[in-house]
């Protein structure tokens, strides 16, 4: 991409009274997808946008365009965001231009460094805060204008006085000792104080008791040192109610005996209580179960990960206990879900009674209150740190079972409830969250099979899944020669323009003579752990190409075939693909190779080279399960990718989950912004299809269009489609 700035003009900006062009915002970020999102959000709000993708270009564009506001990523090539900000502040025009640091970095060191370099404001976690961006921009422009206005000449004082009085932001002026000398009407509206009640009082009057003294100490040290303090702080209204403000406080200098000294402090404040409340509520919904108030699965997994990364291995034992209420569905079916929820709340209450009696339990929030999480419909989890030994763990598990042994009085009826508990111990049963969780789940399964109302430790010897894995691996070695592997095909429908079947995905199945039809989710990981994935993958590629070649009579159809990490790195991959195309006589453009997001990011440089070689053959390349991995969108432009496949986990929640709906819409927009075709997997409902069509999604795949079918049945399906 060339180093250039694109400027989008608009007629006016809602909320700005100045005639002429709308404010110009320079966006500096090396990620084109992020710039695309920012441009979309801010042009929709009526702003003009210019862009730069590295530090040196940013400084050049800033001098040329003289923007009204700078949105700056902390990590860009060339000069980083902090250096860019510092250099901007050295330019005559850049002294008072608002600078908003928008970044994925979310720690106090980064925040402090941003403000030290001259940033006006800091918006952490740039992947989750786009809804706030427009409001932050408007506030910074208003605050910047006001701060500049207050530094105008003495002749403008009367006009400034009127502007301050009528300002939509709260303004406070104090003397050098922080005693209040002036407040505007907006301040009185926010705090419920009359002017007469605060004039002459120290600003400590507003301090909230829960605000850490270090915050005020940092503010004061910055101001008396001649700096400008920016941040968000919690204050108290007249009635003691807490409220949040985003403020900019700066010193005002005067001259005494020929020397410049601080005489006043000016504070411009915006009430952000509603936004902060919403953020707290969103976080609570994300991390806590609404029925019981306990931390949810996400909260537990994150906290457990922190615990495992800090335990003093091998001296410290950490135990994960998974608890499942026995026959909970019967209670729901008999009494209804309302009573079922009541039971869950009563169970939570009894668990809470145990918290004060159980030592060495890992706390799951900053207030050290919760020690148990609800991770599913009738499933709970407990984390024990420094669990000492197996006897102590078993004793604690039995205490939890005993707490449930007393009947629950629900709707005037005594309800009996019991539970099964599975216990796994770190590091013996797993050194990471996923492995430890799997071991605890296996132990829970063993407890259920042992008659329920009991607890079981994870046992390698009794691990049925391990035994099954060994059996599957043994059988898998002979699956090809026994011709037990079979391909199923699932159609892909073109949504835009003429709706028609334009391709299909080849999906492998294993029909074992002894164990029946086995899911690829079970046997593919086994094949990937050894060299079996190479011959199996070659067979899939050859079989799919032959089928696709035979079905070209039904149209210019493209077949999608998955590649594993081992296949992608295998030295003979290019030869295998070329041979499969030549032997089947399938046109190269009718073959699409799918690589998962996590695989494509393993050794990005090597992957880019391999994909370029494959692309030269003439086939298509796709990223499968997009949105579930950890790739940076900025890398996508380095790979010769044609297609993004949106993971079914997002598509299935479209219309029911706001988060998933926004994610799918964003992926489609970003994919098209990068010139890629977008395919949505897992489409099962009509409303999902309509949403995807409205968002401009190119292709869809899922049960709504057609289930995976064996070759003969899929050919019949294609014949019906043609007629």
**Rounded Cα–Cα distance for residues 539 and 50 (Å):** 51
| Segment 311-351, tens digit of pLDDT | 654 556 788 999 999 878 767 766 778 888 888 988 888 88
Q: Which pLDDT does position 74 carry in this prediction? A: 86
**Rounded Cα–Cα distance for residues 391 and 385 (Å):** 14
Tell me the backbone φ, ψ of residue 99, rounded to 5 degrees. -125, 120
* Statement to judge: residues 266 and 308 lie in one domain: no
**For residue 37, which of 101, 126, 117, 98 has the smallest C-alpha distance?**
126
| Segment 379-405, tens digit of pLDDT | 999 888 766 677 778 888 888 898 888
Report whether pLDDT(630) > 60. no
Report whether pLDDT(469) > 70. no
User: Residues 575-604: what's their mean pLDDT?
Assistant: 88
User: Residues 93-109: what's their mean pLDDT?
Assistant: 79
**Rounded Cα–Cα distance for residues 429 and 94 (Å):** 58
* Statement to judge: residues 113 and 169 lie in one domain: no
| Domain presence at residue 510 | yes
Containing 559, the helix (H) or strand (E) segment is strand 558-563
* Statement to judge: residues 190 and 123 lie in one domain: no
Q: Which pLDDT does position 356 carry in this prediction? A: 64
* Statement to judge: residues 438 and 511 lie in one domain: no
Report whether pLDDT(628) > 80. no
* Statement to judge: residues 146 and 250 lie in one domain: no
* Statement to judge: residues 457 and 503 lie in one domain: no
**For residue 410, which of 298, 299, 332, 493 has the smallest C-alpha distance?**
332
Chosen domain end from 250, 279, 308: 279
Q: Which pLDDT does position 599 carry in this prediction? A: 76
> Which is more confidently placed, 676 or 285?
676
Least trusted range by pLDDT, from 174-178, 209-213, 463-467, 698-702: 463-467
Q: Which pLDDT does position 414 carry in this prediction? A: 82
Under DSSP, is residue 307 helix (H, G, I), strand (E, B) or coil?
A: helix
| Domain presence at residue 36 | yes
Report whether pLDDT(156) > 70. no
**CATH number for position 664:** 3.20.20.450
| Domain presence at residue 256 | yes
Q: Which pLDDT does position 581 carry in this prediction? A: 95
Report whether pLDDT(411) > 90. no
- With a pLDDT cut of 90, the percent of the chain lying above it is 28
Q: Which pLDDT does position 560 carry in this prediction? A: 95
User: Residues 715-720: what's their mean pLDDT?
Assistant: 92
| Domain presence at residue 3 | no
> Which is more confidently placed, 5 or 673?
673
Domain count for the chain: 4
Q: Which regions of 454-542 does DSSP assign to beta strands (E)?
A: 455-457, 485-494, 500-512, 516-518
* Statement to judge: residues 456 and 472 lie in one domain: no
* Statement to judge: residues 305 and 262 lie in one domain: no
> Which is more confidently placed, 703 or 209?
703
Q: Which pLDDT does position 579 carry in this prediction? A: 94
Q: Which pLDDT does position 615 carry in this prediction? A: 92
* pLDDT interval class at 704 (50, 70, 90): very high
* pLDDT interval class at 2 (50, 70, 90): very low
| Domain presence at residue 202 | yes
User: Residues 457-476: what's their mean pLDDT?
Assistant: 70
* Statement to judge: residues 565 and 418 lie in one domain: no
pTM, full prediction = 0.42
| Segment 240-293, tens digit of pLDDT | 898 888 888 988 888 777 678 888 899 888 888 888 888 777 777 778 888 888
Chosen domain end from 215, 245, 279: 279
Report whether pLDDT(11) > 50. no
**CATH number for position 178:** 3.30.450.20
Q: Which pLDDT does position 63 carry in this prediction? A: 92
| Domain presence at residue 6 | no
> Which is more confidently placed, 125 or 690?
690
| Domain presence at residue 1 | no
Report whether pLDDT(710) > 90. yes
Instruction: Pick from 143-147, 394-398, 538-542 the range whose average pLDDT is largest.
Output: 538-542
* Statement to judge: residues 107 and 77 lie in one domain: yes
User: Residues 513-541: what's their mean pLDDT?
Assistant: 85
Q: Which pLDDT does position 700 carry in this prediction? A: 94
DSSP state, residue 22: P
User: Residues 203-214: what's their mean pLDDT?
Assistant: 83
Q: Which pLDDT does position 233 carry in this prediction? A: 87
Q: Which pLDDT does position 223 carry in this prediction? A: 87
* Statement to judge: residues 193 and 300 lie in one domain: no
**CATH number for position 352:** 3.30.70.270
Q: Which pLDDT does position 48 carry in this prediction? A: 94
Q: Which pLDDT does position 247 carry in this prediction? A: 87
Report whether pLDDT(7) > 60. no
Chosen domain end from 109, 134, 150: 150
Domain span holding position 81: 24-150
* CA distances in angstroms from 166 to 171, 184, 187, 191, listed in the order given: 10, 8, 11, 16
Q: Which pLDDT does position 14 carry in this prediction? A: 35
DSSP state, residue 95: S
- With a pLDDT cut of 70, the percent of the chain lying above it is 85
**Rounded Cα–Cα distance for residues 269 and 187 (Å):** 8
Q: Which pLDDT does position 59 carry in this prediction? A: 93
Listed in sequence order, the DSSP H helices in 570-710 are 573-584, 597-600, 604-616, 633-636, 648-651, 658-673, 686-694
State whether the Cα torsion 188-193-194-200 is positive or negative.
negative
* Statement to judge: residues 434 and 537 lie in one domain: no
Question: What residues contact residue 175 under an 8 Å CB cut-off, 6+ apart?
Answer: 181, 263, 264, 265
Report whether pLDDT(18) > 80. no
Q: Which pLDDT does position 464 carry in this prediction? A: 60
Q: Which pLDDT does position 326 carry in this prediction? A: 85
| Domain presence at residue 12 | no
As a whole number, the mean pLDDT across the chain is 83
**CATH number for position 54:** 3.40.50.2300
């Amino acid at each position: 991409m060339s180093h250039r700035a694109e400027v989008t003009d608009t007629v006016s900006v809602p909320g700005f009274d100045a005639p002429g062009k709308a404010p110009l915002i320079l966006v500096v970020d090396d990620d084109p997808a992020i710039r695309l999102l920012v441009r979309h959000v801010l042009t929709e709000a009526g702003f003009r946008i210019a862009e730069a993708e590295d530090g040196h270009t940013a400084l050049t564009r800033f001098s040329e365009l003289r923007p009204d506001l700078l949105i700056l990523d902390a990590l860009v090539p060339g000069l980083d965001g902090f250096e860019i900000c510092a250099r901007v502040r050295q330019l005559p025009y850049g002294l008072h231009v608002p600078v908003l640091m928008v970044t994925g970095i979310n720690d106090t060191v980064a925040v402090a460094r941003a403000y030290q370099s001259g940033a006006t404001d800091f918006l952490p976690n740039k992947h989750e805060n786009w809804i706030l961006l427009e409001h932050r921009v408007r506030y910074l422009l208003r605050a910047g204008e006001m701060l500049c206005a207050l530094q105008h000449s003495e002749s403008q004082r009367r006009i400034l006085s009127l502007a301050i009085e009528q300002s939509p932001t709260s303004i406070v002026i104090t003397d050098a000792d922080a005693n209040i000398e002036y407040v505007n009407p907006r301040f009185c509206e926010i705090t419920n104080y009359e002017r007469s009640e605060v004039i002459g009082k120290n600003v400590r009057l507003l301090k909230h008791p829960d605000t850490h003294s270090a915050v005020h100490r940092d503010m004061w040290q910055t101001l008396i040192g001649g700096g400008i303090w920016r941040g968000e702080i919690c204050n108290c209204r007249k009635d003691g109610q807490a409220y949040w403000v985003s403020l900019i406080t700066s010193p005002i200098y005067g001259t005494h005996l020929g020397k410049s000294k601080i005489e006043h402090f000016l504070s411009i404040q915006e009430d952000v209580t509603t936004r902060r409340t919403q953020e707290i509520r969103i976080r609570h919904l994300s991390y806590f179960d609404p029925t019981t108030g306990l931390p949810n699965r996400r909260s537990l997994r994150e906290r457990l990960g922190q615990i495992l990364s800090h335990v003093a291995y091998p001296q410290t034992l950490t135990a994960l206990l998974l608890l499942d209420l026995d026959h909970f569905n019967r209670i729901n079916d008999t009494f209804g879900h309302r009573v079922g929820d009541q039971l869950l709340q009563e169970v939570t209450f009894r668990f809470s009674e145990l918290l004060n009696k159980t030592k060495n339990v890992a706390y799951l929030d900053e207030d050290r209150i919760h020690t148990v999480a609800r991770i599913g419909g009738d499933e709970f989890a407990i984390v024990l740190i420094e669990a000492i030994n197996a006897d102590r763990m078993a004793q604690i598990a039995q205490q939890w079972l005993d707490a449930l042994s007393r009947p629950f009085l629900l709707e005037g009826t005594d309800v009996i409830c019991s539970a099964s508990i599975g216990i796994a111990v770190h590091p013996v049963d797993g050194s990471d969250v996923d492995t430890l969780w799997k071991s605890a789940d296996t132990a829970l399964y063993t407890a259920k099979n042992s008659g329920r109302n009991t607890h079981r430790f994870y046992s390698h010897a009794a691990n049925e899944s391990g035994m099954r894995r060994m059996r599957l691996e043994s059988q898998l070695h002979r699956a090809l020669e026994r011709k037990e592997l079979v391909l199923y095909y699932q159609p892909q429908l073109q949504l835009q323009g003429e709706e028609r079947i334009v391709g299909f995905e080849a999906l492998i199945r294993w029909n074992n003579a002894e164990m029946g039809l086995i899911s690829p989710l079970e046997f593919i990981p086994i094949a990937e752990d050894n060299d079996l994935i190479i011959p199996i993958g070659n067979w899939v590629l050859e079989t799919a190409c032959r089928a696709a070649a035979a079905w070209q009579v039904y149209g210019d159809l493209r077949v999608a075939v998955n590649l594993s990490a081992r296949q992608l790195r295998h030295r003979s991959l290019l030869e295998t693909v070329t041979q499969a195309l030549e032997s089947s006589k399938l046109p190269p453009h009718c073959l699409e190779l799918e690589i998962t997001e996590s695989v494509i990011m393993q050794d990005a440089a090597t992957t880019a080279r391999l994909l370029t070689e494959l692309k030269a053959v003439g086939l298509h390349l796709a990223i499968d399960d997009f949105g579930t991995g950890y790739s940076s969108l900025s890398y996508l432009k380095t790979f010769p990718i044609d297609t993004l496949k949106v993971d079914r986990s997002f598509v299935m929640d479209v219309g029911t989950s706001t988060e998933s709906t926004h994610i799918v819409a964003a992926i489609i927009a970003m994919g098209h912004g990068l010139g890629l075709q977008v395919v949505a997997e897992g489409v099962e409902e009509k409303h999902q299809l309509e949403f995807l069509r409205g968002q401009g999604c190119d292709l869809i795949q899922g049960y709504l269009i057609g289930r995976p079918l064996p070759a003969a049945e899929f050919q019949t399906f294609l014949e019906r489609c043609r007629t």
